[in-house]
Amino acid sequence: MNSPTHIPGVQFSNRTRWASRGAISFLMQQGVENPGVLSLAAGLVDPDTLPVELAQEQLSELLADDARARQCLQYGTTPGSEHLRGALVPFFAELENSTPEELDLQAEDLVLTTGSQQLLSLVCDALFDPGDICLVAAPTYFVFLGALEAVGARTISVNTDEQGMCPDALNQTLADLEEEGELGRVKLIYLVSYYENPSGVSLATERRKQIVELSKKWSKSQRLMILEDAAYRELQYDGEVYPSLWSFDTDRQNVIYTQTFSKSFSPGVRVGFGILPDDLKKPISDLKGNDDFGSAHLNQRLMAQVLGTGHYRDHVERVKASYTAKRDAMLAAAENYFSDLEGVTWQHPHGGLYVWMSLPESIPTGFDSPLFETAVQKHKVMYVPGELCFAGDAVERNHMRLSYGVLTPERIGEGMKSLSHAIREFL
Ligand SMILES: Cc1ncc(COP(=O)(O)O)c(C=O)c1O
């Protein structure tokens, strides 16, 4: 066969080009290329508290009966296992401090997804044409920023403080957009409502109510939706118990809610769920049908089995105890090694997996910054550069996301000490 003299390049779609942010892949690669480096970057969960025995027990129980094993090992349905959706109704009602009857919540209101990430991505597909607008906190979850870019959405940051997104600033942003004739393009407000990745901040209760009201007020030519990402809801260590944004959306028209078992149980199982307003159920199901026509059935049945035993709750308590000790180790190390560094501040999270640290504005922290290079090459410690977590219109370059999920408390202390040495070189 004659080989052609010129092989033309592949003509990739716009969506592929828009998806080329790649920060998460770069970060993973850094970990692999620098094995001796202590990672305060990895967002993985604590390997020591993964539910090995519980999963072993419940899987063998699930598969012990042949007929049931055959069901579990078969394809499921697009919205997901009825066993798990049924079990999630009382599970969620309990989180809401309520009952399924009071909430009037049915299994059909839920969709099961491959982690909550899949729901985030399906919502992007369902709502955004290129140029449509999403309003986000600053900072926010950087993988979602990538998902927005990949559908050609325009992302606008709304002023955010230690109590989360500021409702006044949100109202002003929407008023400005209306004046510019752009309100019709604003489709979504995205909020990580509990212990945000990366800042650790939770949206204050009063603000939750106000933001839901604002989404209704500004639903003019089309409905302005809120995507409530409650990925860290169960990982609360102390402080206030927050009601969901969803609970303030009493007519169930504006809030799409998503939660995951990746953090509280196992990311390897990768089961998440969404609660959808009525008119999103079919579009999301249609998109998911094209995508995978149902997430891994066995994993869903395992989660249903685990929730049914009551051991789940004990497991979550163990996970929280472990993370509380790690968070405390990180905060104690911050106090020990950073408190004499002028212009260096950090948040005290009441849950989640992250401490957000800010440096003087003169010290950029990005992948290409001298600090990142010095931290990784010389002091053998890595963090997530904060700039990844800001939408393009409002990038701040002097922050770091520090995770306490993976390392032991001792190693967290060592990592923080090394990081403080790296920073001292630039003060
Ligand atoms: C804020 C937030 N949302 C969603 C996810 C997605 O998690 P999963 O797809 O494993 O549920 C993560 C993962 O780190 C996250 O931090």
Tell me the pLDDT tens digit for each residue of 137-168.
Answer: 999 999 999 999 999 999 999 999 999 999 99
Q: Report the atom number in ligand 1 closest to the C-alpha of 196.
A: 1
pLDDT by residue (tens digit) across 252-272? 999 999 999 999 999 999 999
- Which of the two residues, 32 and 307, has the higher pLDDT score? 307
Domains located in the chain, CATH noted: 14-50+314-424 (3.90.1150.10), 75-310 (3.40.640.10)
For residue 290, the model assigns a pLDDT of 96
Q: Which whole number is the average pLDDT over 317-332?
A: 97
Distance CA 69, CA 61 (A): 9
Question: pLDDT band at residue 23, thresholds of 50, 70 and 90?
Answer: low
**Alpha carbon nearest to ligand 1 atom 6, residue:** 117
For residue 21, the model assigns a pLDDT of 63
- Ligand 1 centroid distance, CA of 44 (Å): 10
Q: Report the atom number in ligand 1 closest to the C-alpha of 262.
A: 10
Cis preceding-peptide flag for 139 (omega within 30 of 0)? yes
For residue 3, the model assigns a pLDDT of 60
Task: Centre a 10 Å sphere on the Cβ of residue 80 and count the other Cβ atoms it contains.
Answer: 27
pLDDT at 250 over 90: yes
Distance CA 5, CA 177 (A): 53
pLDDT by residue (tens digit) across 412-423? 999 999 999 999
pTM of model > 0.85? yes
pLDDT at 22 over 70: no
Lining residues, ligand 1, CB within 6 Å: 43, 115-117, 141, 192, 197, 229, 231, 260, 262, 267, 270, 272
Q: Which whole number is the average pLDDT over 291-319?
A: 96
Residue 314, CB-side half-sphere exposure with 13 Å CA sphere: 8
User: Which among 407, 424, 376 has a CA at the least distance from the CA of 29?
Assistant: 376
Q: What's the sign of the alpha-carbon dihedral 159, 119, 326, 366?
A: negative
For residue 13, the model assigns a pLDDT of 86
